[in-house]
């Protein structure tokens, strides 16, 4: 039994690891060559509609490349008195769409090789959720911030490096990214195959069959939900396995992942609280963290309701 689990998980990893590695390198290379920065033109309409200042518009452009750097810029503008508290809140919430675009370099190389079209659907759902959050932030700015004279938002960032240099930099960065991914994925995949062969997931599904009528997915999906809460990357191979076996459908995979993202937020607080407080300070940091998590949870729940058949 143990040897069969190790063999099956080993062959599975041998198939997907090269694809994931190539995808991560390609994504990093495109970023180094300036492909992501081409989307920065979207920040202009966002900042003008929401009555944001030119400084906040620059921060939105920066968010396509580095959300953390954009947050630091907004903090500096706020502390210097360049933008008021309301604009800080609006601009911080409006970073949602640039944030999910910047995370494509990490999400897609992991999702697509494992889940294929379902992974693309899942990422597309998050794009829709974050775009909705940005739209809500724009509406808040439109009604709460004073109208400003129209001005162009200047581009940020240097010219992209030559291909050879970009390739070297992308390989270096990809090594760190892949190490972080595989340190979680490899043991989680092997463990998932072993637990499946031992019948743990089947027993869990039978044990939860009594409450399955209250869930928007079959009881077999509870294992995926629990795994996602602990580690989203670790849940992808398990979801792919159950999807291939017909235990859960593609639509149900999306619902499970979205619900898992909401239920996992208490665990993420240990990372989010130091991040927000370290950048914005205690009071603004907690306020922005609460508003961001609250808005994201509400929009995500709305997406779940729309997806459930």
Residue 298 inside a domain? The answer is yes
> What percent of the chain has pLDDT above 90?
26
Separation between Cα atoms, residue 91 and residue 197, nearest integer Å: 49
What residues contact residue 77 under an 8 Å CB cut-off, 6+ apart? 53, 55, 56, 59, 83, 88
> What percent of the chain has pLDDT above 70?
78
Give the range of the structural domain holding residue 254, as residue numbers without chain letter. Answer: 199-308
Q: What is the pLDDT of residues 204-242, one digit of tens each?
A: 555 545 555 567 777 778 888 888 887 888 889 889 989
With 60 as the cut, is the pLDDT of residue 272 above it? yes
Tokens standing for residue 104? 């494509």
With 50 as the cut, is the pLDDT of residue 251 above it? yes
Residue 272 inside a domain? The answer is yes
Residue 12, pLDDT score: 72
> pLDDT grade, residue 296 (50/70/90)?
very high
Average pLDDT over residues 299-308: 93
Residue 300, pLDDT score: 96
Residue 182, pLDDT score: 76
Residue 262 inside a domain? The answer is yes
Q: What are phi and psi of 160, to 5 degrees?
A: -65, 145
Q: What is the pLDDT of residues 125-151, one digit of tens each?
A: 999 999 999 999 999 999 998 886 544
Residue 241 inside a domain? The answer is yes
Q: What is the pLDDT of residues 94-116, one digit of tens each?
A: 999 988 988 888 888 889 988 99
Residue 34 inside a domain? The answer is no
Residue 152, pLDDT score: 47
Residue 238 inside a domain? The answer is yes
Residue 222 inside a domain? The answer is yes
Average pLDDT over residues 185-212: 65
Average pLDDT over residues 173-191: 74
The candidate with the shortest Cα–Cα distance to 272, out of 43, 59, 28, 67, is 67
Separation between Cα atoms, residue 269 and residue 297, nearest integer Å: 14
> pLDDT grade, residue 68 (50/70/90)?
confident
Residue 265 inside a domain? The answer is yes
> pLDDT grade, residue 168 (50/70/90)?
confident
Q: How many structural domains are present in the chain?
A: 1
> pLDDT grade, residue 79 (50/70/90)?
confident
With 50 as the cut, is the pLDDT of residue 288 above it? yes
């Amino acid at each position: 039994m143990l040897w069969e689990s190790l063999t099956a998980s080993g062959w599975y990893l041998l198939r997907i690891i090269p694809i994931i590695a190539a995808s991560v390198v390609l994504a990093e290379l495109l970023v180094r060559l300036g492909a992501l920065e081409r989307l920065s033109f979207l920040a202009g309409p966002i900042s003008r509609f929401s009555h944001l200042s030119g400084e906040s518009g620059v921060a939105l452009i920066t968010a396509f490349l580095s959300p953390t750097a954009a947050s630091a810029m907004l903090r500096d503008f706020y502390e210097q008195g360049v933008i008021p508290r309301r604009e800080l809140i609006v601009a911080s919430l409006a970073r949602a769409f640039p944030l999910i675009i910047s995370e494509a370099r990490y999400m897609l190389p992991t999702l697509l090789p494992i889940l294929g079209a379902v992974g693309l659907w899942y990422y597309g759902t998050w794009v829709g959720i974050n775009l909705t959050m940005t739209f809500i932030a724009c509406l808040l700015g439109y009604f709460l911030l004073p109208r400003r004279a129209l001005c162009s938002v200047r581009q940020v960032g240097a010219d992209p490096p030559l291909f050879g240099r970009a390739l070297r930099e992308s390989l270096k960065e990809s090594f760190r990214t892949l190490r972080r991914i595989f340190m979680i994925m490899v043991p989680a995949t092997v463990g998932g195959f072993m637990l499946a062969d031992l019948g743990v997931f089947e027993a869990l599904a039978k044990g939860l069959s009594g409450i399955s009528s209250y869930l928007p997915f079959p009881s077999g999906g509870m294992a995926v939900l629990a795994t996602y809460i602990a580690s989203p990357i670790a849940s992808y191979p398990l979801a792919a396995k159950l999807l291939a076996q017909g235990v859960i459908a593609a639509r149900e995979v999306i619902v499970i992942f979205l619900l898992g993202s909401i239920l996992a937020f208490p665990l993420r607080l240990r990372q989010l609280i130091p991040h927000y407080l370290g950048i914005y300070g205690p009071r603004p940091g907690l306020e922005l963290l609460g508003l961001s998590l609250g808005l994201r949870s509400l929009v995500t729940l709305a997406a779940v309701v729309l997806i459930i058949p």
